């Protein structure tokens, strides 16, 4: 049976009808029902061929997640992995990732595989370094096309620029305000389907994008259901998702698993942009020791335990962690759950053994492992050319020096207070402190808005220690507008408590704070009690619950993002310049070649463990 050609975009792009519509609500309303969307079957890339007609067929599933437009090799801590040695010690693997190397590793992995599928679990774009972000992630979509990506779910960052821009990523066309970035070339969009089963029109309940996709080759059929985390609306700008609802992950996956079963598709993989937190940060940690799934926590555990046994594997993301676990399904049977960290540093290779007689996956034969994207392989030539093309276009902006640093200023994922977080909070305070610009007394920065470290080693010809605009952009790619707002001392303390309670209790989101603001975090306690209220001080003075303070923060935070609902209660908001402008201005004002900026001490939050 021949595979359906994948290049026929019109066969499955349900967003095309909405390209000229004004509102997201109208966009979704114009789309066909989920049933209509689901009737479209896609073929695979056809890596290899079927040489025999045996009952059992091994299908290779290559997967990754949270690429975030990292086309060039990530630097500093973003380009490292931790390896767990057999004796229990760990070592750091330097210099991993980069789409040129990811392409080579994936192509080598596919060699000899009769059936190979490449899938992703969201956040392919958004929060991207300048070489992609400057061009609204068109370069990343082009790279993913060349990677032969078959299918991906959406992640929260696919909505960074709103649903209409996501439609353009899928369907193609030049940017509505900036036009075409290359003379004579029109952006063609993704060759692969974006899946968003749980993103629906609030009024009609219809899905924004295809809810599922069926890969088929020589009679082997595997269905993919794609969802993003239910909490997406809390971590993206509200303006771009008006009229959309983000549904429960488990309910949605189970719903479409039944739809696929009715269509005769019994082999099912869920692509889920939500994840877990393994007990070790090492990419090769065995999270099934001492028992299945015992070494992992976080939202994915409850989700996996409740997703229908009809689903044979879960490819996950969002937490930027690495794991390949087996978590029991509702029937108590083991099921593989994987995540490949972030930024293209890893890919997961999963073997799905397909039974031609039952048309289902033999679950006991499923095996998964994460593999490092090393840079000791030959970079893919087509990817190198792609990167160089876009890098040349970005160079006049990207290469401009904006500051100097004395050493690496890190953004470690496992640290509550980050040196780079201190630097950014200080920059925001300085930018919003003048009376005419907000009169801020302190600044708060969300940790998820800091996307990369500042590396001392030169990324190009600028010289070691020089920070370029492109590097600063990679650190803060959202270009959020800064605000100064009134908060009471009581509200400020509540915000600190919301870091470690409610939706943030399982995975704390510790706000980065400006100089002069100090407190103690007691992680031996639980929930809001982790914040030692009596320790919260501004410039050495205890915070007065009844007093009003002027606080600088970006618009994402002042809108209650990341679960900080109390911050929405602010008063007297004044909007300033962008966070990136304040960051680069601070670097320019406080550093020079002869007096580079030192590494912040990260001593504002005292942590008791």
Compute the distance between CA of residue 168 and CA of residue 189 in angstroms, rounded to an integer. 7
**pLDDT score recorded for residue 47:** 44
Lowest mean pLDDT among 41-50, 252-261, 290-299, 404-413: 41-50
Mean confidence (pLDDT) of the chain: 91
Compute the distance between CA of residue 397 and CA of residue 163 in angstroms, rounded to an integer. 28
DSSP 465: T
**With bands split at pLDDT 50, 70 and 90, how would you rate the model's confidence at 506?**
confident
Distances (CA, A) of 218 to 51, 357, 456: 10, 14, 52
pLDDT in tens, 264-279: 999 999 999 999 999 9
**With bands split at pLDDT 50, 70 and 90, how would you rate the model's confidence at 2?**
very low
Q: Is the pLDDT of residue 37 over 90?
A: no
If you write DSSP's letter for every residue of 126-189 in order, what string do you get?
A: SS--HHHHTTTTHHHHHHHHHTT--EEE--GGGGTT-HHHHHHHHH---BTTTB-SSTT-----
Q: Is the pLDDT of residue 43 over 70?
A: no
**pLDDT score recorded for residue 25:** 39
For residue 98, report the phi and psi dihedrals to the nearest 5 degrees.
110, 125
**pLDDT score recorded for residue 40:** 35
**pLDDT score recorded for residue 53:** 62
**pLDDT score recorded for residue 16:** 32
Number of H helices, E strands in the chain: 14, 31
pLDDT in tens, 153-179: 999 999 999 999 999 999 999 999 999
pLDDT in tens, 572-602: 999 999 999 999 999 999 999 999 999 999 9
pLDDT in tens, 83-133: 999 999 999 999 999 999 999 999 999 999 999 999 999 999 999 999 999
Instruction: Give mean pLDDT, residues 353-363.
Output: 96
Compute the distance between CA of residue 251 and CA of residue 537 in angstroms, rounded to an integer. 45
Instruction: Give mean pLDDT, residues 329-353.
Output: 97
pLDDT in tens, 512-535: 999 999 999 999 999 999 999 999
- Residue 455 tokens read as 């590396």
- Residue 587 tokens read as 């670097």
**With bands split at pLDDT 50, 70 and 90, how would you rate the model's confidence at 239?**
confident
Instruction: Give mean pLDDT, residues 389-396.
Output: 96
Q: Is the pLDDT of residue 13 over 50?
A: no
Nearest to 371 by CA among 44, 155, 61: 61
Instruction: Give mean pLDDT, residues 347-362.
Output: 97
Q: Note whether 514 and 426 are within 8 A (CB).
A: yes
Q: Is the pLDDT of residue 29 over 50?
A: no
Q: Which helix or strand (DSSP H or E) is residue 471 part of?
A: helix 469-475
Instruction: Give mean pLDDT, residues 539-557.
Output: 97
**With bands split at pLDDT 50, 70 and 90, how would you rate the model's confidence at 479?**
confident
Q: Is the pLDDT of residue 5 over 70?
A: no
pTM for the model stands at 0.85
Instruction: Give mean pLDDT, residues 16-37.
Output: 36
**With bands split at pLDDT 50, 70 and 90, how would you rate the model's confidence at 52?**
very low
Instruction: Give mean pLDDT, residues 416-442.
Output: 97
**pLDDT score recorded for residue 237:** 80
Q: Is the pLDDT of residue 21 over 70?
A: no
Map 340-407 to HEC letters.
Answer: ECCCCCEEEEEEEEEECCCCEECHHHCEEEEEECECCCCCCHHHHHHHHHHHHHHHHHHCCEEEEECC
């Amino acid at each position: 049976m021949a595979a359906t050609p994948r290049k026929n975009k019109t066969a499955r792009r349900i967003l095309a009808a909405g390209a000229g519509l004004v509102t997201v609500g109208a966009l979704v309303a114009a789309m066909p029902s989920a049933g209509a969307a689901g009737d479209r079957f896609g073929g695979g890339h056809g890596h290899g061929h079927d040489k025999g007609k045996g009952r059992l067929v091994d299908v290779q599933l290559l997967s990754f997640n949270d690429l975030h437009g990292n086309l060039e090799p990530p630097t500093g801590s973003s380009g490292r992995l931790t390896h767990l040695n057999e004796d229990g010690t760990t070592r750091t693997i330097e210099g991993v990732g980069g789409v040129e190397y990811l392409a080579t590793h994936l192509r080598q992995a596919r060699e000899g595989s009769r059936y190979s599928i490449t899938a992703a679990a969201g956040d392919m774009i958004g929060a991207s370094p300048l070489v992609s972000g400057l061009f609204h992630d068109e370069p990343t979509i082009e790279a993913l096309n060349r990677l032969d990506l078959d299918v991906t779910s959406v992640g929260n960052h696919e909505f960074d620029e709103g649903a209409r821009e996501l439609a353009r990523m899928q369907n193609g066309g030049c940017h509505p305000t900036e036009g075409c970035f290359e003379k004579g070339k029109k952006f063609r969009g993704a060759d692969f389907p974006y899946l968003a089963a749980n993103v629906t029109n609030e009024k009609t309940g219809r899905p924004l994008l295809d809810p599922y996709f069926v890969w088929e080759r020589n009679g082997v059929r595997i269905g993919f259901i794609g969802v993003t985390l239910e909490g997406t609306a809390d971590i993206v700008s509200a303006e771009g998702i008006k009229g959309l609802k983000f549904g429960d992950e488990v309910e949605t996956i189970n719903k479409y698993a039944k739809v696929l079963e009715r269509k005769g598709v019994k082999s099912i993989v869920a692509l889920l942009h939500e994840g877990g937190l393994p007990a070790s940060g090492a990419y090769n940690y065995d999270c099934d020791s001492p028992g299945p799934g015992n070494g992992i926590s976080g939202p994915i555990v409850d989700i996996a335990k409740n997703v229908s046994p009809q689903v044979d594997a879960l490819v996950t993301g969002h937490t930027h962690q690495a794991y390949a676990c087996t978590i029991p399904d509702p029937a108590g049977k083991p099921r593989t759950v994987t995540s490949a960290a972030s930024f293209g540093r890893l890919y997961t290779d999963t073997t799905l053994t397909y039974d031609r007689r039952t048309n289902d996956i033999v679950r006991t034969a499923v095996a998964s492992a994460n593999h490092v994207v090393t840079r000791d392989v030959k970079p893919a030539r087509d990817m190198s050319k792609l990167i160089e093309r876009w890098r040349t276009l970005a160079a006049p902006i990207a290469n401009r020096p904006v500051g100097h640093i004395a050493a690496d200023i890190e953004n470690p994922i496992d640290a509550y207070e980050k040196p780079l977080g201190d630097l950014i909070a200080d920059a925001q305070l300085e930018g919003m402190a003048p009376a005419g610009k907000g009169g801020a007394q302190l600044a708060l920065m969300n940790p998820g808005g800091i996307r990369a470290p500042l590396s001392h080693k030169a990324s190009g010809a600028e010289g070691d220690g020089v920070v370029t605009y492109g590097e600063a952009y990679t650190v803060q790619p959202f270009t959020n507008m800064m605000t100064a707002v009134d908060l009471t001392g009581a509200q400020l303390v509540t915000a600190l408590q919301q870091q470690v309670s409610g939706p943030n209790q399982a995975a704390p989101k510790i706000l980065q704070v400006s100089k002069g603001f100090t407190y103690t975090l007691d992680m031996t306690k639980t929930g809001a009690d982790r914040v030692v209220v009596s320790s919260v001080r501004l410039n050495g003075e205890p915070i007065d619950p009844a007093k009003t303070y002027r606080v600088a923060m970006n618009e994402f935070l002042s809108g209650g993002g990341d679960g900080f609902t109390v911050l929405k209660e602010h008063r007297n908001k004044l909007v300033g310049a962008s966070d990136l402008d304040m960051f680069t201005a601070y670097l320019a004002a406080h550093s020079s070649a002869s007096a580079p900026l030192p590494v912040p001490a990260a001593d504002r939050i005292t942590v008791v463990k």
